[in-house]
Amino acid sequence: MIRLETRFASSFIQSSKLEPFLEKSESARLTLHSSQGQGKEYLGWLYLPKELKNSEIERMTQVAERLRNSSEVIVVIGIGGSYLGSRAVLEATLPFFKKPSIGNPEIIFAGHHLESRYFSELIEYLEDKNFSINVISKSGTTTEPAIAFRLLWELLRKKYGSSASSRVVATTDSSKGVLKKFADSEKLDTFTIPDNVGGRYSVLTPVGLFPLAVAGISISKFILGFQNILNDIHSITDPTRNPATYYSALRNYFLSEGRYIEVLANFNPSLRYVSEWWKQLFGESEGKENKGIFPASMDFTTDLHSLGQYIQEGKRILFETVLSPSEVCSNLTLKPTQDNLDSLNFLSGNTLGYVNEQARLGTLLAHADGGVPCLELVFPDISPQSLGELMYFFEYSCAISGYSLGVNPFDQPGVEAYKKNMFALLNKPGFEQEGETLRKRISRN
């Protein structure tokens, strides 16, 4: 089970001040389970680990195997919650360096930005590759993935003609939307995004599971991680013993003390996209009504040589949560050299994993001494099962924390603001008047 350790934060915590936040977090947890809180129509994720159908898992595995056996590259098209969860698990568990081939395809992500050079080079790269697509969109009209799919569908048809449809899998709404209509017309293999699960909570739906399957990752082990932690954190009512409730309480306690930024740090570069997924989860869930903690992330020791200075001696407006797997790869042992030019022979006989662990502990000590509370999230290892536990822990904690703040953790109304302006500036039908107004504002500036 996930452990939340406070040894590098305890000096910043006053029990009497923390108590109201513990009570509020437990009350929020009960609200979550009552299905009476804000956004109650989007609680499908809460018990999903127990409700997944074996038949759907088997079908995903079969379709994924078909794509794997015909593709050197599989492009996963999606944005936000439609790609961050699967990318987090893939980046964490797949080898850093591997040579793709039929049956062992490279996974590339697209549709999460609008940068033209990336797409130009991607299209050129795919021209002489056997490739397939998994397009993920509830509506099919979200701008970034819709443009990506338009571009890559054109290339797919050019390469494969009438058989192009067999190389596309759509993950979309069960009955409505542009992508569903297209999938039906082209007779695509499809998987359904549940109506009662929002994008950032969707990693255990086909949104996250199918890309893992096409990458050859055991989705059954990933699901098992969710199932294991669910049984524990749903039943523990003492907020100091339930790591999810405790984490929520501590976050909001630190916020009340003027710590508006939470840095999720790791000492394992493979966990970078876990942090990216976490940022969307908490940023979209809490950041509304002028409330919430700003979620930031850092990769150590890399960022210790840039932002480490600010953490050590800058404004005291942040706290850290450090992802701390108990077991990491430690089979690389440092050997002595005869001349010892780099003066590192004192490390001889130690594994690189051991050196990294001492860097982690030294960093936590330094940051705590510098006035930054540091929480540790300890989990067994960087495996699909442990990542499943970690991701459900964060989802559950995030919902509790949002309710504790008094906001709806399952909507994201602010995301529409940039879209409306973009549509107006692009002269989308129906936005002409707004576009004229915006262009005048821009010209005045």
- Would you please indicate which residues are annotated as catalytic (active-site) residues? 284, 305, 419
CA 47 – CA 294 distance, rounded (Å): 28
Q: How many residues are present in the chain?
A: 445
Q: Nearest CA to 373 among 5, 8, 4?
A: 8
Q: Nearest CA to 407 among 276, 248, 263, 257?
A: 248
- DSSP state letter for 289: T
8 Å CB contact between 368 and 7: no
DSSP string, 245-267: HHHHHHHHHHHHTT--EEEEEES
CA 161 – CA 154 distance, rounded (Å): 10
Helices (H) and strands (E) in the chain, counts: 16, 10
Q: Please classify residue 181 by burial: count the beta carbons closer than 10 Å to its beta carbon, then call 0-12 exposed, 13-18 middle and 19+ buried.
A: middle
CA 209 – CA 194 distance, rounded (Å): 13
Q: Please classify residue 246 by burial: count the beta carbons closer than 10 Å to its beta carbon, then call 0-12 exposed, 13-18 middle and 19+ buried.
A: buried
Task: Give the Å distances, CA to CA, from 412 to 73, 77, 84, 215, 289.
Answer: 33, 21, 16, 30, 11
CA 387 – CA 84 distance, rounded (Å): 13
Token representation of residue 230: 């669910």
Token representation of residue 3: 């452990």
Residues in CB range of 372: below 8 A, 6 or more apart: 311, 312, 316, 318, 319, 320
SS3 readout for 308-346:
HHHHHHCCCCEEEEEEEEEECCCCCECCCCCCCCCCCHH
CA 271 – CA 390 distance, rounded (Å): 12
Residues in CB range of 391: below 8 A, 6 or more apart: 85, 88, 203, 204, 225, 226, 274, 277
Q: Please classify residue 177 by burial: count the beta carbons closer than 10 Å to its beta carbon, then call 0-12 exposed, 13-18 middle and 19+ buried.
A: middle
